Structure 1
């Protein structure tokens, strides 16, 4: 849709994501991200927090991507996240018949910040992914090296022997190769 305001926010989750299933069967998750500006005060020689923005967010499961469920299963209060989505405005009426308007972030993409943390990502298999597996790969491609597809009857068309990116650990042998991490 034209004129949408797309933003990216980096901040901490203020509470555990709350997953709900609506009467119509739709699945939504709600959470709040708190983002603060940090600046260096040269007078005190210390870092200081600026004003904090608390942004209410929502994400929905779709037929092709269980985003809301993935958020609820992967993220928790206190985690630093990077979220991208569309600002939306919603108007509602209170019990006293007062009209209120709120601005929320409808999240399209989200993940943990790896600046001060690590994450173990598990790619979900999607039977509705279509011709390219939902991730730009040919149908049937399961990722990794040929060793990862052993016994599945699927051959990795992109695997090469000794592929350092297709196996765990460092390099192809699982030991430190002396190459710097990046």
Structure 2
């Protein structure tokens, strides 16, 4: 969709992803990411933590299943998606607004870790052409 706010957040999962199925049978996973900026104090030279941002993320279908199988609390992740604003009313009648990230891409951060990737081939995935940023080179 045009004019959507796409953001990327790097941070740590604060809980294990919560995986479930909707009443319509669609897989969905929710997880929260904490992103804390760090800066160096000019006077002391010490590194300090800034104010943390906590963002709830939601991923659907196969992506949600892959996240639930692959990621766990404490892992540093890179998440990209569309920022959504949702307004709801509490029981006493107060209106609240929350911001959530509808995930398009997610992966472990390799800054402080290594990872092994297992490619999943399914009937659905076979129908979707894969984006190949680099053309194949003939040997």
- The two structures have a TM-score, normalised by structure 1, of 0.68
Spell out, residue by residue over 1:53-104, the C-alpha distance to the aligned partner (whole angstroms, 9 max, x if none): 011111111xxxx000000110111111000000001122323333322110
Give how far 1:40 is off.
1.1
* Conserved? CA contact 1:126–1:134, under 8 Å: no
- The two structures have a TM-score, normalised by structure 2, of 0.88
Give how far 1:22 is off.
1.1
Which has a greater percent of strand?
Answer: 2
Query: What's 2:89 paired with?
Result: 93
Which has a greater percent of helix?
Answer: 2
- Does 2:130 correspond to 1:135? yes
Output aligned runs, 1:1-80, within 5 Å: 1-61=1-61, 66-80=62-76
Give how far 1:43 is off.
1.8
Superposed CA RMSD in Å reads: 2.0
Once residues 64 and 125 of structure 2 are traced to their aligned partners in structure 1, the CA distance between those partners, rounded to angstroms, is 17
Secondary structure of 1:51's aligned partner: coil
Structure 2 segments unaligned to the other structure (5+ residues): none
Structure 1 segments unaligned to the other structure (5+ residues): 138-156, 161-182
Spell out, residue by residue over 1:124-157, the C-alpha distance to the aligned partner (whole angstroms, 9 max, x if none): 01222346x64247xxxxxxxxxxxxxxxxxxx9
Aligned positions, number: 136
Once residues 78 and 72 of structure 1 are traced to their aligned partners in structure 2, the CA distance between those partners, rounded to angstroms, is 14
Which of structures 1 and 2 has the larger relative contact order (alpha carbons within 8 angstroms, sep 6+)? 2
